[in-house]
Structure 1
Amino acid sequence: MPSKPPHADIPLRLLVPTQYVGAIIGKEGATIRNITKQTQSKVDVHRKENAGAAEKPISIYSTPEGCSAACRMILDIMHQEAKDTKTADEVPLKILAHNNFVGRLIGKEGRNLKKVEQDTNTKITISPLQDLTLYNPERTITIKGPIEDCCQAEVEIMKKVREAYENDIAAMNTHLIPGLNLGALGLFPSSSNMPPPPPGNASGGAPYGCFGAPEQETVHVYIPAQAVGAIIGKKGQHIKQLSRFAGASIKIAPAEAPDSKMRMVIVTGPPEAQFKAQGRIYGKLKEENFFGPKEEVKLETHIKMAAAAAGRVIGKGGKTVNELQNLTAAEVVVPREQTPDENDQVIVKINGHFYASQLAQRKIRDILTQVKQSQKGGVAMNTSPNPQGFTEMGSHTQGLTQDHQPRRK
């Protein structure tokens, strides 16, 4: 019987008014340190996200009880601050949840949500599907009522979200790699768990082409040179099995130099095959102790794209690439002053743990799909409100000479 995944996989995400962020952090961070200490949790206040926005996200990582305790303390601080500054009569609790879980939270004909409202004596609303964009897969759940009731509603809501997450993992584990969860991240569309696309943006967010079989993709994954033997296996058995399991072509490129510390693995196949193959490569490196027991496996992957499309990935002033990094937690780099190859292609580098890398790859493919569709049809790419990220592209020379990547350590 596989062990249950740790609850910490799903942080509690809150949305708080920017004006209260200072009070939550406290002088020299004293208040937030007190919250983390008392509740045994890790609390990230995303102050730099969405500069100028009226609200900021806060991520809380802990046990369900720890998350709820930290949430209570934050809500208390906001209420006290609102009272002291006379800025608001009411401060609702706002929770962010990935859209894939929201349908199950609402329930058939809204029954689940109504029950939570009745049991906790609160008023709960959920932001509409139309608010979702490529770079914002989360819905905002707004809870109104006395502090005690709001906190009880948080417990019930997150119980359902975690349940949905664990069910997704269990379903995926029956025919995928243990511990890897494709559904919860919304990496691929499927009839069972994907919502209909927001109106007016029929092509947005679908990693596959609009019709027919999913497109073949080639990704270069860089692994430690000493791990090549483990990936290939005795007489090539492991790499053959991996190739069959994933439905992908997997080849190890020759070393670039005799003393190269990294080797390139060339993975070719549709999106789902990429997910399976790359997931097993990450898993194998962990199993074979190429990374420490408490060390996260982070690998660099390269995607090739038409030089003319690279500006789309960067975005005006680096806006798109910055949003991509904030969303995925991967480092995304379009190296500066690249010379396009014989096919007029350049590389985009992605560095991060498995889920971060997969999400970044999917989002970049989405952008490339949009570019292709706009070139084919000769029509403007966006028929709906601009999903941040499809910004106007400058000349591709400009796109290639910028190295937009606030480095993540």
Structure 2
Amino acid sequence: METPESYESSLETPDKGSPVPQDKVNQDDKEKPTSIRFLVSNAEAGSVIGKGGQTITEFQSESGTRIQLSRNHEYFPGTADRIIMVSGSVSDILTAMELILSKLQNELLEDGDGANSTSKLRLVVPNSACGGIIGKGGTKIKSFIEDSQAGIKISSQDNNFAGTSDRLVTVTGSVEEKLQALYLIVNELVEDPHYLQYVNSPLSYTGANFSALHRIPVNYVLPPIVPEAYNVTNCGSNGAAGKPDTNKNKVTAKPVTIGIADEHIGFIVGRGGRNITEIRQSSGARIKISDRGDFISGTFDRKVTISGTVEAICTAQAMIDQRIASYSES
């Protein structure tokens, strides 16, 4: 018997209480290491990272989780949204998600966007694990909706995300309602052996390789600190800005700082500095790598700051990404 494709809630908001009922979480489940993946816009990703990586560092420190983002030009298939993966114990993940969702909610309110005060949380879940969330005849997802008072909708199996077997579980409601629903969903997922295999395997999509997302720290882009003429927000995979503006590409842009795993630095620099020299000469960009042991706070990632024109920065980023991809595949 086929399971229903989606369910949504139209129930009233419950009384406000503790967003995560930790007293009801089985002690063994609290300590189970796992991960969740969800989608955010580029703007939301910037909010989670914070200036100079400050916000993401604080969230990792407060929750005890590892929070990783796909790079600023690597999106979930069929969308313009980046992927965030939060890894740790169940209870720590719930703590991190409370910090993230509250941050995004507060920014909506500060922007005066009251109409979108119940923004969506879109979880990426393998199709093999969705049956456990839905339950026989939809009984489990109905109980999740009733218990959390959140809207929960699972994308159709017919949706084709670039040939992947992933589906989106969309949760709507207040921060508290979304956290209640997430608590129920995550505790269901950790009992699923298929999901355990999923979170322990590299995440790879057509056109974007996210193998670094789990086993190797991802190269996330930090917001520029030094204000200059232009800000590089999106470089195409060929090293050119998304829709090139000839004049803009020739003007100095804000420096871009990316975090790169310490183990990759030697491969980027090359023997006697051969690789980094080639990247500098080919791109025309200036590239500065932080000293050994000088990591981005809360990580083992070195800072690589790229300066120059929009075109030069994008070209240098593309060349660095290509070398890392070659290293990861070797």
TM-score by length of 1: 0.41
Look at both structures and tell me which one has the larger radius of gyration over its CA atoms. 1
Structure scoring higher RCO (CA < 8 A, sep ≥ 6) equals 2
